[in-house]
């Protein structure tokens, strides 16, 4: 047995020598493993969304510390990608940041300046500075998501329908994806029908409340703005340079409720009064609306085709995803988007959104879903 052991050891050493493997002592291995690095330590990195409140209870203080190879870094400047507020580290490397929990977000925290930074009371060198500027951590604020049921799709045996729910605290209000505003668009032309460039169309209610201001008209005289019409009397004004055009005295414009509109405006050849009838003022309803609010999706490669429905008021939604993809248990993500959808039928809770409609952003939190009890 001793002879066999010696032969095996000899063979191993010989093989190690043949393949250029250098045997090192534990002390040498530890020395080689030591890598210079900075670290941002946070006492907490994940938070559940909490509705904005006047008393500021949706804000939470988080303490942290910046170190380099275990030593505190003093007088470095940190920033969050979302707030851009500068935070300077104390003598012991500590700092405090305020987390706004009112909206879902993934917020990296990074060192942005180490020009005046010190370690053990001494200015840092270039190598340390370069490494510290690559140091990051992150805060994630999200709504928990639970999966309530999965079932095979009745129309495609390769797809799974995943029933899930975005959770919130009792009493908290979540603004899910819904109609936010309607579009007012159209063209501004002169008396000869030629497009007017750089005109501004302004709509407001009496006393200046609820106003909307258009983009400057382009070379084709086109403009657009977004507004929430309530079938109230409004004023309509067109501003071209220093000149203001308006409806006749004591005349108002009434926007139809719950619809987008196209308003064609022809300016007068003389004076500044826009007659409130075609062809000088021509209003027609149009398709589409701007939607805004919270949606959820799966954090999967862009080539994976899946659909998702708009959450209902209780946060319930359904994903239809390839079964093989779902078996890998990909994380969800949450995103707040604002988007104009130009279709005649208005979207509502439970409607399936087009494939690719929802895409994750860099600052959207990823969420590992739990199973419902």
Q: What is the tens place of the pLDDT at every residue in 315-327? A: 999 999 999 999 9
Helix (H, G, I), strand (E, B) or coil at 207: helix
Of the given ranges (33-42, 43-52, 258-267, 355-364), which has the lowest mean pLDDT?
33-42
Q: Are 162 and 371 in contact (CB under 8 A)?
A: no
> With 70 as the cut, is the pLDDT of residue 334 above it?
yes
Distance (Å, whole) CA 67 – CA 95: 11
Tell me what the pLDDT averaged over the chain comes to: 88
Of the given ranges (59-73, 250-264, 343-357), which has the lowest mean pLDDT?
250-264
> With 80 as the cut, is the pLDDT of residue 33 above it?
no
11: confidence class by pLDDT, cuts 50, 70, 90: very low
Angle at 147 (CA atoms; ends 158, 174), nearest 5 degrees: 125
Which domains, from first to last, does the chain contain? 38-142 (2.60.40.10), 145-177+290-371 (no CATH), 182-286 (2.60.40.1120)
Q: Are strands 145-152 and 370-371 parallel, antiparallel or unpaired?
A: parallel
Q: What percent of the chain has pLDDT over 90?
A: 76
Distance (Å, whole) CA 120 – CA 302: 48
> With 50 as the cut, is the pLDDT of residue 28 above it?
no
- Residue 176, CA atoms < 13 Å, CB-side half-sphere: 22
Q: How many helices (H) and strands (E) does the chain have?
A: 4, 28
Instruction: Return the H-helix or E-strand segment holding 9.
Output: helix 2-18
Angle at 309 (CA atoms; ends 303, 310), nearest 5 degrees: 125
pLDDT number for residue 257: 84
pLDDT number for residue 6: 36
**The residue to which tokens 């209610």 are assigned:** 205
How large is the average pLDDT for residues 265-287?
93
27: confidence class by pLDDT, cuts 50, 70, 90: very low
25: confidence class by pLDDT, cuts 50, 70, 90: very low
φ/ψ of residue 193, rounded to 5: 85, 10
- pLDDT, one tens digit per residue, over 177-219 is 999 999 999 999 999 999 999 999 999 876 556 678 999 999 9
Q: What percent of the chain has pLDDT over 70?
A: 88
Q: Are 178 and 294 in contact (CB under 8 A)?
A: no
Of the given ranges (228-232, 333-337, 345-349), which has the lowest mean pLDDT?
228-232
pLDDT number for residue 231: 65
pLDDT number for residue 210: 64
The structure tokens listed for 48 are 């559940």
If you count them, how many residues does the chain have? 373
Instruction: Return the H-helix or E-strand segment holding 26.
Output: helix 26-33
- pLDDT, one tens digit per residue, over 213-250 is 999 999 999 999 998 876 677 889 999 999 999 999 88
> With 50 as the cut, is the pLDDT of residue 31 above it?
no
Note the Cα 245 to chain centre separation in Å.
39
Q: Are 260 and 289 in contact (CB under 8 A)?
A: yes
> With 60 as the cut, is the pLDDT of residue 258 above it?
yes
Per the omega criterion (within 30 degrees of 0), is the bond before 279 cis? Answer: yes
The alpha-carbon radius of gyration of the chain (Å, integer) is 31
- pLDDT, one tens digit per residue, over 90-127 is 999 999 999 999 999 999 999 999 999 999 999 999 99
CA distances from 96 to 78, 119, 120, 294 (A): 10, 19, 21, 29
- In 3D space, the residue among 283, 116, 280 whose CA is nearest the CA of residue 186 turns out to be 283
84: confidence class by pLDDT, cuts 50, 70, 90: confident
Q: Are 77 and 109 in contact (CB under 8 A)?
A: no
State the pTM of this model.
Answer: 0.79
- pLDDT, one tens digit per residue, over 124-171 is 999 999 999 999 999 999 999 999 999 999 999 899 999 999 999 888
Residue 275: how many other CB atoms lie within 10 Å = 13
Q: Return all residues near 49 (Cβ < 8 A) that are at least 6 apart.
A: 101, 102, 103, 104, 141, 142, 143, 168, 172, 174
The structure tokens listed for 135 are 């140091």
Q: What's the first-to-final CA gap in the chain, in angstroms?
A: 59
CA distances from 128 to 35, 39, 75, 133, 177 (A): 12, 12, 14, 9, 46
Residue 116: how many other CB atoms lie within 10 Å = 12
């Amino acid at each position: 047995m001793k002879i066999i052991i010696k032969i095996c050891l000899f063979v191993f050493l010989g093989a190690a020598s043949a393949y250029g493997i250098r045997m090192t002592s534990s002390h040498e291995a530890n020395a080689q493993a030591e890598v210079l690095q900075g670290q941002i330590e946070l006492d907490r990195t994940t938070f559940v969304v909490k509705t904005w409140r006047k008393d500021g209870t949706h804000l939470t203080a988080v303490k942290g510390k910046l170190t380099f190879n275990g030593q505190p870094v003093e007088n470095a400047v940190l920033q969050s990608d979302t707030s851009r507020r500068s935070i300077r580290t104390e003598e012991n490397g500590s700092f405090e940041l305020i987390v706004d929990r009112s909206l879902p977000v993934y917020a990296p925290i990074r060192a942005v300046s180490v020009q005046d930074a010190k370690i053990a009371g001494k200015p840092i060198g270039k190598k340390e500075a370069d490494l510290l500027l690559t140091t990051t951590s992150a805060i994630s604020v999200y709504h928990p998501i639970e999966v309530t049921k999965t079932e095979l799709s009745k129309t495609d045996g390769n797809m799974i329908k995943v029933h899930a729910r975005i959770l919130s605290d009792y009493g908290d209000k979540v603004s899910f994806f819904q109609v936010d505003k309607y579009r007012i668009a159209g063209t501004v032309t002169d008396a000869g029908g030629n497009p007017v460039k750089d005109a501004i169309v302004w709509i407001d209610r009496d006393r200046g409340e609820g106003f909307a201001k258009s983009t400057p008209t382009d070379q084709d005289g086109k403009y657009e703005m977004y507004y929430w019409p309530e079938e109230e009397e409004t004023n309509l004004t067109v501003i071209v340079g220093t000149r203001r055009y308006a409806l006749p005295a004591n005349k108002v414009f009434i926007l139809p409720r719950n619809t987008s509109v196209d308003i064609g405006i022809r300016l007068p050849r003389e004076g500044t009064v826009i007659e409130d009838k075609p062809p000088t003022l021509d209003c027609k309803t149009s398709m589409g609306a701007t939607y805004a609010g919270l949606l959820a999706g799966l954090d999967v490669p862009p080539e994976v085709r899946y659909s998702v429905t708009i959450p209902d008021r209780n946060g319930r939604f359904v994903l239809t995803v390839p079964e093989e993809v779902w078996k890998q248990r990909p994380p969800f993500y949450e995103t707040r988007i604002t988007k104009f959808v130009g279709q005649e039928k208005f979207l509502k809770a439970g409607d399936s959104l087009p494939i690719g409609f929802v895409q994750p952003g860099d600052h959207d939190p990823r969420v590992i879903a739990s199973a419902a009890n």
